[in-house]
Amino acid sequence: MGTRIRRRLLEIDSFIDAFFYSILEGAKRAIEAYSARLERFNVKGWRRVLVEFFSDAATMGAGGAVLMLALAIPAFDETSDDWLSQNDYSVVFLDRYGNEIGKRGILHNDSVPLDEIPDHMIKATLATEDRRFYQHFGIDFGGTLRAMIENMRAKTVVQGGSSLTQQLAKNLFLTNERTIERKIKEAFLAMWLETHLTKNDILKLYLDRAYLGGGTFGVDAAAEFYFGKSVRDINLAEAAMIAGLFKAPGRYAPHIDLPAARGRANEVLENMVQAGFMTAGQIYAARRNPATPVDRSGVTAPDYFLDWAFEEVKRITGGKAVVLTAKTTIDMNLQKVAEDAVESSLRQYGKQYGASQAAMAMSDLQDGAVRAMVGGRDYGVSQFNRATSALRQPGSSFKPYVYLTALMNGFTPQSIVPDAPITIGGWSPQNYGRRYRGNIPLTTALQYSINTVAVRLAQSVGRDKIVENAYNMGVKTPLVISKSLPLGASEMTVMDQLAGYGTLASGGLKLTPYAIVDIRDGEGNLIYRHSRDEPPRQQVVPADKVSQLNAMLYQAANFGTGRRALFPTAPISGKTGTTNAYRDGWFCGFTGNYVATIWMGNDDFRSTNRMTGGSLPAMTWNKLMSYAHNGIEIKPIPGVGGVPQPEVAAAQVGPDGEAIPAPVPLVLSKQSEILLFQIEKLMREAKPLKPIAPPGPSAEMRAKESGTAAWWRAPEPAQTPPATPANAETETPPDKVVEITIRGN
């Protein structure tokens, strides 16, 4: 029995050995045979170079294709089942006074069919945007190569390489960001569109949904806006002018720059001849008689606000495709001042400070109605709304959330906290200038934007409580809880700050900025009203603690880093913010009537030229808010109170019995203020001079003898601050200011 078992085990072992031996031998013979076959195809000489080149190209191409596909997969998530109907709205927007200010959306049932759009409009579009539209499959490699050659010859970008389908894919699914990832997504989505739609469908969507300036989307809306007629009735010259807007509507819009629009239209006509769509004789009359648009020189649409309001309408109505009229909160007078303030500041000082973009928003404190919104410098160049969508580090403008949480957890404005070095897990935040003041009260710490105090407060009360308070006050962007959170390291939007500071300005009542007052359907029936359908405002933070913080923010704005935001007609509370390497500058502040927040910087996160929140942002904020408070009743800030109004001089009567008007008070221009600040800086930095003559009567005695009184405080010796440390607030704290008072006889 035992012998049989041993024999069986030996047989099994032999079988296993033989099995694996045969596999290994077979593999060995196969490899030898493969090697022998390859040796027959051994290429030498110049042929080997070609073989190696194409082999490497195939390998790299396969790897690149896999990489591009991996990058394109997220883009396909945008192609939901209802992607084609995502803009099926036709909304007319009114301002707060009931005046029409713009339109958004498309209702396909009412749009002009493709066969009713004039042939010259279609030819002008194809000749300019995509001549081989009906020949390619979504990507025109020949057109892309031709554009590259022309751009190399001109040493600048004179032609675009994207096909019409790629441009539609960008308009429907993507943003205007200039990245390789976006171009890859654009290419895949273009091919996806070509497989799901016919060429005529793609062309129709492009003609309907492209932005063409003046707040218009689509050729029919553009024809109505620029020429006062339907696209069915436009002539060749007018079609050429509209087709010229696809490239850069902000630059070639006729109501902005008519000569540029006509020059661009002439290029479109030439393109039609070069493409073979028309002859030189057919376009002769259009060249001799260029299009004359309707006078729209005084018409400006608040496009960034309308985009945001359009999204709010879709959210409120629940996604149904309807014809609507929406009354909004916007005040076009304040909107124009906000736009002019941003543009004038960037035009005058943008190069000096190295800043190219800005975003601003302003709300009424009564209920959060947004009165003005600037989402960028030029809507025609970029439709990205930096007020609602751009995430930026707020810097020290985040500190009010920290201080309010501290006040709610046992601290008071008079609480003494050490301003001294602190290290948390190897991280050591520092103050600007690497200077420390020792034990100081909270009010002083916020006034001078002391970093170490904010970090100590966060350590004491807990960062999670700070974040919870920020959310309760209206911040919607998720905040990252980190050691540098109290210094404003977590990104926020301008609208987040508008809500948070608006809650402070309202005494702790939550302020939710909104755009829509009411919505009516096509028959005039009311389907939504904000005052009726939205919940009442709630007290989200204690009113007494908010009053304490507002008084501290009043000190920060009036005696700290926000002095350039001050204007004489109303008291303000607010806080500046500047991030590392001077990338972002903020000013967030409020009166008893309005709250406004502003960000300035660059889209590419490039550092500015030492721009702080207390410089250009505060100056721009001042332009809007000082205008907004002219001729209105000034309300007190909770915790601050009102402002003493200037005394009105009694009317005097002249010899002829007519009233002599009171003298107009002198108001310095902003440039004069800047010059005075520069003079003040020079005086602070000047070295004290020793008197040469023997000491005589004091200056005060001499002033008294001459009938005047003078006093001053000598400036402290200037110190040169070192480089800005990581996560440090870069607002320069004010030194002692030279003060001079002269009284005449």
Which of 135-139, 295-299, 324-328 has the highest average model confidence (pLDDT)? 324-328
What confidence score (pLDDT) does residue 12 get? 82
Q: pLDDT of 199-256, one tens digit each?
A: 999 999 899 888 888 778 889 989 988 999 999 999 999 999 999 999 888 789 898 8
Beta strands in 365-473 (DSSP E): 370-374, 416-419, 438-441
Three-state secondary structure call for residue 137: coil
What confidence score (pLDDT) does residue 417 get? 95
Q: Residue written as tokens 């109605």?
A: 369
What confidence score (pLDDT) does residue 689 get? 60
Active site residues: 129, 396
Q: 496 vs 166, 183, 454, CA distance in Å?
A: 34, 31, 20
DSSP letter at 292? Answer: -
What confidence score (pLDDT) does residue 557 get? 94
CB 608, CB 601: distance < 8 Å? yes
Cα atoms in the 13 Å half-sphere on the side-chain side of 418: 4
CB 241, CB 293: distance < 8 Å? yes
Written as six digits, the tokens of 127 are 């000749």
Q: Which of 156-160, 345-349, 555-559, 599-603 has the lowest mean pLDDT?
A: 156-160
What percentage of the chain carries pLDDT values higher than 90?
A: 53
Interatomic CA distance for residues 349 and 356, integer angstroms: 10
Interacting residues of 75 by C-beta distance below 8 A, sequence separation 6+: 173, 174, 185, 188, 189
**φ and ψ at residue 228, rounded to 5 degrees:** 65, 30
Three-state secondary structure call for residue 140: coil
DSSP letter at 232? Answer: G
pLDDT exceeds 60 at position 657: no
Interatomic CA distance for residues 191 and 141, integer angstroms: 13
Interacting residues of 513 by C-beta distance below 8 A, sequence separation 6+: 361, 363, 368, 369, 370, 474, 495, 498, 499, 502
Query: What's the average model confidence in pLDDT over 738-743?
Result: 32
Which of 52-56, 143-147, 585-589 has the highest average model confidence (pLDDT)? 585-589
Written as six digits, the tokens of 503 are 């809650």
Written as six digits, the tokens of 654 are 């002249």
Interatomic CA distance for residues 518 and 187, integer angstroms: 41
Q: Comparing 643 with 576, which gets the higher pLDDT?
A: 576
State if pTM tops 0.75.
no
Expressed in angstroms, the distance from the first to the final Cα of the chain is 137
CB 367, CB 501: distance < 8 Å? no
Q: Which of 134-138, 143-147, 154-158, 645-649 has the lowest mean pLDDT?
A: 645-649
What percentage of the chain carries pLDDT values higher than 70?
A: 77
Q: Residue written as tokens 């190209």?
A: 57
Interatomic CA distance for residues 363 and 590, integer angstroms: 10
Strand partners, 600: 358, 585
